[in-house]
Structure 1
């Protein structure tokens, strides 16, 4: 059987980009058990309550829900256990420095398979205030309206 190629998206945290200002992103590997990988291959996971914690020089992913594998037996995993992230020491040190200095947080943005290996995209983020959210919605709406208007003009349609 041939090895998997490319990127296969499993789960995405869409609300994260709405609730946070994304400063920097990192790609990290995950330490998983066999039933977790099989459950992810079925495309089942949720990143909604996830966050990353740095503990004694190691990065840990908390709150990510990977449901139990349906054909698993006594070897099944706990759905919301903490999982170790595989990052370089330099990256972990930089993330730890930024979190302690700025008061930022680290959140998962997406979970995917890259060439057959489970990866998670994490982001260094700062929380948005309610007026920031309204401003980003207004900017998105204005950008969409201009795209529609440009499309109408290109097609030769008038008001």
Structure 2
């Protein structure tokens, strides 16, 4: 995690440069990683970890500060209330829109109704903590891009 923070920072900065010089260069290179790429990676690894019983905890589970700092920078279509039904729509430099929307909604839903594959065993505690923290952060976002607020509130209403 320390290496990640050293290279990428504590939060996402689209103008961030590498914190070190490469080879004989005299200027720090800029990153080529788009927020969509990082957001989709986080969704993928977090979803798989939460969904499967025997999965290693991903680095992304400890990077919620970084994950939530991506929210204002990703493609706003991810947060549409109507989910994309054509699996061919791709995000800039990322996965399909439909898959990213689906994973995000599942994780938001699991904040209230988690089908814990560990069946409540102690080794599942880090998953339950992650979802509790994810929920807290969703509730405390200063602004909700696109329709994220409506999607989040609809999920919360369903589980009240």
Structures share fold, TM-score greater than 0.5: no
Structure with more strand by fraction: 1
For normalisation by structure 1, the TM-score amounts to 0.22
Larger Rg: 1
Per the normalisation by structure 2, the TM-score is 0.22
Higher helix proportion (structure 1 or 2): 2
